[in-house]
Amino acid sequence: MLRGSVRTLFERAGGIARARNARDKGWDRQVMNELAHAGVLGVAAPEAVGGLGMGLTAAGVIVEEVGRALTPEPVVSAIALAIGMIQRVCPGDAMLATAISGKIACALAWQERGLRGYSDQMACRFDGKVLNGSKAWIAGAVGADQLLVVAQNDSKPVLVALDADGKGIYSELRRQSDGSQLCDIGFVDAPGKLLAEGSVVSEALSTVVADATALAAAELVGVSAKALELTLDYVKTREQFGKPIGSFQVIQHRAVDLYVAQQVAEAGVSEALARMDVSADQGARIREASRAKARACSTAKRITRESIQLHGAVGYTDEFDIGLFLNRALVLSAWLGDAAYHRARWMDALEANEAGR
């Protein structure tokens, strides 16, 4: 019922065709408001703070439909990162209820650039009144009303809220191959409001990044499922040598292999989300998220690339939808870490767990 309702909502909004329009127009605030009205943005948040209390498992079902429809709205970053962060560090703040209801859109900024790409040293500083520094690769920042920035105050991590169009904020848009947009943002004496400080911020950040990673895996599952569905429909109708190419055994074997890979990835991600819902062990949750993302990345890239091949030359044209799924798979696979990164992260977390026994 949940899956069907969300699928209907996305189809009514325009379906896959919106992925083409998003390359120029970005995401639609009205669609985001409809999602909020349906309870989507608060699906994983507890009922005590205005959410539905259905956990990551239900959120995963919704996000799979986001992947199937190539929805441009930043659903994962809203549910897991922005709302998830507010929920954990300041559940009593009025911002949480307004974000869940869709009255405001928030984006979480925590990553910074270094000489070799990502930096694990936080240079962004908040002195209690103003913020200075920069953040990179911010999802959902385009069109956001509030920025939630993880920074340093002396030696403590802090979470600061700023008006997205406020004084001292400078942004640079980075368009991805699928048309989605990330932002790099600089802060020069930008006035902000302190929401929380100390270990609660760093612990909450670790939690929400794991949640977002697992939900990104669920979105990749949706991308894989729809790409395979389109491809199977195509090989049933495309004729060569007087018969549908889907009647050839070599094509049937490839299709079966892709179907099995998709089902294994879907089952693995569903299991990971269910385990994360009931686990309070942060190390275990990180392992589950990385396991899910590694599998989903590999599977999505394999299915979408082979789908292009099975479509033949037309698969490379902009007129056919299958290319849109390949682009989305590539972007999502890179976001929050690719398969190689998460396999290494899973091993590190496993070794740390074994050493602690």
User: What are the pLDDT digits (tens) for 237-263?
Assistant: 876 777 877 667 888 999 999 999 999
Confidence of residue 115 (pLDDT cuts 50, 70, 90): low
Architecture of domain 107-197: Beta Barrel (2.40)
Assign domain 201-355 to a CATH class: mainly alpha
pLDDT in tens, 116-147: 666 677 889 999 899 999 999 999 999 999 99
* Domain locations along the chain: 2-104, 107-197, 201-355
pTM for the structure as a whole? 0.94
Q: Is the pLDDT of residue 166 over 60?
A: yes
Q: CA of 121: how far to CAs of 152, 314, 336, in Å?
A: 10, 46, 17
Per-residue pLDDT, averaged over 326-352, amounts to 92
Amino acid sitting at position 228: L
Fold category of 2-104 in CATH: Butyryl-Coa Dehydrogenase, subunit A; domain 1 (1.10.540)
Q: Is the pLDDT of residue 229 over 70?
A: yes
Between residues 297 and 234, the one the model is more confident about: 297
Q: Characterize the bridge pairing of strands 193-197 and 243-244.
A: unpaired
Rounded-to-integer distance, Cα 262 and Cα 228, Å = 8
Per-residue pLDDT, averaged over 188-214, amounts to 96
Q: CA of 234: how far to CAs of 52, 258, 321, 334, in Å?
A: 39, 15, 11, 28
Q: What pLDDT is recorded for position 357?
A: 64
Contact (Cβ atoms closer than 8 angstroms) between residue 141 and residue 107: yes
Per-residue pLDDT, averaged over 86-102, amounts to 93
Contact (Cβ atoms closer than 8 angstroms) between residue 109 and residue 138: yes
The helix (H) or strand (E) run that includes residue 163 is strand 156-163
Q: What pLDDT is recorded for position 351?
A: 82
Mean confidence (pLDDT) of the chain = 91
Neighbours of 207 (CB within 10 A): 19
Q: What pLDDT is recorded for position 71?
A: 93
Q: What pLDDT is recorded for position 118?
A: 67
